[in-house]
Amino acid sequence: MSYSTAGPLRAVTLDDVRGAQKMLSGVARVTAMESSRHLSQLVGVPVYLKCENLQRTGSFKLRGAYVRIAGLLPEERAAGVVAASAGNHAQGVALASSLLGVHATVFMPKGAPLPKVSATRDYGAEVRLHGQVVDETLAAAQEHAARTGAVFIHPFDHPDIIAGQGTVGLEILEQCPTVRTIVVGIGGGGLAAGVAVAVKALRPEVRIIGVQAEGSAAYPPSLAAGRPVTVESPSTMADGIRVARPGDVPFAIVEELVDEVRTVTEGELSAALLLCLERAKLVVEPAGASPVAALLGGADGLGGLEGPVVAVLSGGNVDPVLLQRVLRHGMAAQGRYLAVRLRLADRPGALATLLGVLSVADANVLDVSHVRTDPRLGLTEAEVELHLETKGPAHCAEVRQALRDAGYTIID
């Protein structure tokens, strides 16, 4: 997805962020800061989680949307606002507009998850489903703005948006005054830019690390080129940071103030989401879990870390269907799923005997596929494919060995 910003670039200052913080008082929650013993042990320094997944609307997006809309002139408010989004930005604009008494029209893709569409409507916006991908939805929103005079509310490429998101940085400094490293996910760059403006102005020694999904990483090539460049066909489960081109305004800030941008894989994102759920008891969407994914490799994976470290969990709006798939992916990435295929004698009780071996090995059977008519099989053979839940890589090896010891040949 690509966006363009209208108007000249304007610097975002600490005073802008402080003004946004006053504006958001009583509107946005001061979200919790939770310690993570597991991540602290993994990284070797104290790690804290900034829980923007518990923000109103389920993400940090309300902050920037409210500041942007609150700053409109009376005649602009009267014309209404329009936005395009598949999720978090849509909900932030919807609630902000409702609180400020401004009519909001939000264009969403036809395939947007139903919970996100319903939430956006419940927050008071008029939702229009258009297009199959966000680029088509964006074009429809911009056409609506040109035709009606409604103000287009950009998800990240505007100084007011960045100032609003920067209030996350001020809260981090208030809640963890000794912080030495902040890790934050990057899509278009609004959140990372805002946090960097606030933190570097007050604590220039704090290291800020941005994280992008490997399949949608526009910032590394952009930083190398010295200008925003477009990544063709960005692809990642982390739709909150799936952006093809950095915004002009946030790019200039990220280039100057963010110390490092690294990427994480889909497997690391899945494992991070699973960790947040199991260890921190927090529901986090893949984009929100990206800072945790960056920490899973330990301090060495990030070139060494000074602590305390704060990882910003930017959002928790995950579709239940996607959550189920991602959790399975995360468990597989951690070696907690095992798929095996083997042949056995096609006689009564053979499958029950096999399942008995697995029971003794303490492997939980999730799915069984039993084939008896494949032409590859002999007249007295059957083939079984099993999907098992295990306790980790070591247990997977134990289960495979138990099958071999019982006389089964595993087909790789």
For the segment 372-404, what is each residue's pLDDT rounded down to a tens digit? Answer: 666 676 666 778 888 888 888 889 889 889 998
For residue 189, give both structure tokens. Answer: 């760059």
Q: Please identify which of the residues 36, 222, 270, 314 carries the catalytic annotation.
A: 314
Identify the active-site residue in 61, 85, 97, 222: 61
**Catalytic-residue membership of 61:** yes
Lowest mean pLDDT among 189-198, 255-264, 347-356: 347-356
Average pLDDT over residues 327-341: 77
Question: Which of the residue ranges 25-29, 134-138, 155-159 would you say has the lowest mean pLDDT?
Answer: 134-138
Average pLDDT, the chain: 89
Residue 216 scores a pLDDT above 60: yes
What is the band of 57 on the pLDDT scale with cuts at 50, 70, 90? very high
Contact 216, 241 (CB under 8 A): yes
Encode the chain in three state secondary structure.
CCCCCCCCCCCCCHHHHHHHHHHHCCCCCCCCEEECHHHHHHHCCCEEEEEHHHCHHHECHHHHHHHHHHCCCHHHHHHCEEEECCCHHHHHHHHHHHHHCCCEEEEECCCCCHHHHHHHHHCCCEEEECCCCHHHHHHHHHHHHHHHCCEECCCCCCHHHHHHHHHHHHHHHHHCCCCCEEEEECCCCHHHHHHHHHHHHHCCCCEEEEEEEHHHCCHHHHHHHCCCCCCCCCCCCCHHHCCCCCCHHHHHHHHHHCCEEEEECHHHHHHHHHHHHHHCCCCCCCCCCHHHHHHCCHHHHCCCCCCCEEEEECECCCCHHHHHHHHHHHHHHCCCEEEEEEEEECCCCHHHHHHHHHHHCCCEEEEEEEECCCCCCCCCEEEEEEEEECCCHHHHHHHHHHHHHCCCEECC
Q: Answer with the residue of higher pLDDT: 110 or 375.
A: 110
Q: What percent of the chain has pLDDT over 70?
A: 93
Angstrom CA distances, 225 to 73, 177, 228, 234, 366, stand at 37, 35, 8, 18, 48
What tokens were used for 207? Answer: 């290291």
Q: Decide: 188 and 247 in contact? Cβ < 8 Å.
A: yes
- pLDDT one-digit tens code per residue, 270-288: 889 989 988 899 999 999 9
Please state the pTM of the whole predicted model: 0.83
Determine contact, residues 52/190, Cβ cutoff 8 Å: no
Tokens of 111: 């395939």
Beta strands 81-84 and 104-108 are parallel
Segment 214-233 mean pLDDT = 93
Say how many C-beta atoms besides its own lie within 10 A of residue 118's C-beta: 11
**pLDDT value at residue 248:** 94
Closest CA to 167 of 71, 260, 264, 50: 50
Using CB atoms within 10 A of its CB, is residue 225 exposed (0-12), middle (13-18) or buried (19+)? Answer: exposed
Determine the pLDDT at residue 282: 93
Strands of 81-84's sheet in order across:
126-129, 104-108, 81-84, 151-152
Q: Is the pLDDT of residue 171 over 90?
A: yes
